[in-house]
Amino acid sequence: MSTRIAAIQMSSTATVADNLTRAGELLAEAADNGVQLAVLPENFALMGAHETDKLAVAEADGEGPIQEFVANAAQRHGLWIVAGTLPLVGPDAAHVRPASPVYDADGQRIACYDKIHLFDVGVPGSDESYCESDTFAAGPTTPAVISSPWGRLGLSVCYDLRFPELYRVLADAGADLITAPAAFTHTTGQAHWHLLTRTRALENQATVIAPNQAGVHANERRTFGHSLIADAWGQVLAEADSDGGQVVWTEFDSDRQHTIRTDFPALAHRRF
């Protein structure tokens, strides 16, 4: 069975309304090209000038203009949408939940994953440092794998890519497709984006859909772009440019993936 899947790249701004307008245009483009599953990037609705900006637009779980926008787009286009991440009200006034909800083609939310691993790092060889835990509350260590019309769908976000144990759990739960919406910095993206996305796909014999932010944002942070889809053989089947909004898509062939897993049964050969 084959279905068309897409990674949607954005260069999100500090204005939610503008970002939703752009996301709507890109989702419409995906639907017009026969896409049935589209994945938005991390922080698609807001890349603010300050990390605390997200606190002002955080929504209650299940309601609010950002969530309504995604649900309506999914229903209008008959499209499954993984909504990158969006800010939901967190456990206290200083933190939001970095949530990655999934909407089916009827516009119903059927799952929601909160990012587990937070990007609290200094980047070697640069003056860059980040501390997501200042404004993000990490989700529970409960991996999310759900059923879809095209197989089992596993959910992850950005920095999660550096933790292979999470993806092994997703594989053990039967993930055929894994989403990894991101806002990878340009520095870390140059060094590790292709390596990590392709490796997570290859070692788990799954298809990874990894939409990224791209370009320079309101806080002067530069993200890497190169949104991509990698298959179970570790090949990049579709890839965006380094800047600007773009939709990239490919055919997910579940029969081919099953053949790879059957003929090259690395997962079945595990000893640990």
Q: Which residue of the set 54, 112, 158, 239 is catalytic?
A: 158
Residues 13, 19: contact at Cβ < 8 Å? yes
Q: Which H/E stretch holds residue 238? A: strand 236-239
Q: Return d(Cα 137, Cα 116) in angstroms, integer.
A: 9
Instruction: Tell me the chain's radius of gyration from C-alpha atoms.
Output: 17
Active site residue 132: no
Residues 85, 181: contact at Cβ < 8 Å? yes
Question: Which of 166, 126, 120, 137 has the alpha carbon at shortest distance from 54?
Answer: 137
Q: Which residue of the set 54, 115, 132, 239 is catalytic?
A: 115
The amino acid at 147: S
Note the helical H segments in 142-185: 164-172
Note the helical H segments in 83-182: 164-172
Residues 37, 254: contact at Cβ < 8 Å? no
Active site residue 115: yes
Q: Return d(Cα 200, Cα 75) in angstroms, integer.
A: 31
Q: Return d(Cα 24, Cα 73) in angstroms, integer.
A: 7
Q: Which residue of the set 42, 59, 132, 239 is catalytic?
A: 42
- Annotated catalytic residues are 42, 115, 158
